Amino acid sequence: MASEEPTDLDWVQLRKDMGERVRVETTKEKFYRKFAENPFVPIGCLATAGALSYGLWSFRTGRRKMSQNMMRLRIVAQGFTITALVVGVMMTSAKGLAK
């Protein structure tokens, strides 16, 4: 019984047949497109990384109170990032259902 699903080689042949009409998105273009769709995710990632870095530096220099506050801020930033991801997925799903 033959499978109806196309194989990887079928996709290669299809792209060759279509010629120059198929344009592959670069990594930079994909980043800009995704950032425009949901800018809160990368902002949350940067906030998380910043709080973590500063918190570790504070811990290393002996500023325990600041280190503890930065670790708490990191948790808040991670929660913000996860919330942004979930909201973004829900919005994308709602867009797909509306079509």
Instruction: Identify the pLDDT of residue 23.
Output: 73
Tens place of pLDDT per residue across the chain (99 aa): 556 776 767 777 777 776 656 678 899 999 898 888 889 999 999 999 999 999 999 999 999 999 999 999 999 999 999 999 999 999 888 887 776
Which pTM was predicted? 0.69
Listed in order, strand segments (DSSP E) in 3-94 are none
Are the CB atoms for 84 and 38 separated by under 8 Å?
yes
Sign of CA dihedral 52, 76, 84, 82: positive
pLDDT at 37: 87
Domains of the chain by residue range:
35-98
Residue where the block lists tokens 């990632």: 45
> What pLDDT, on a 0 to 100 scale, did the predictor assign at position 24?
80
The token duo for 2 is 């033959």
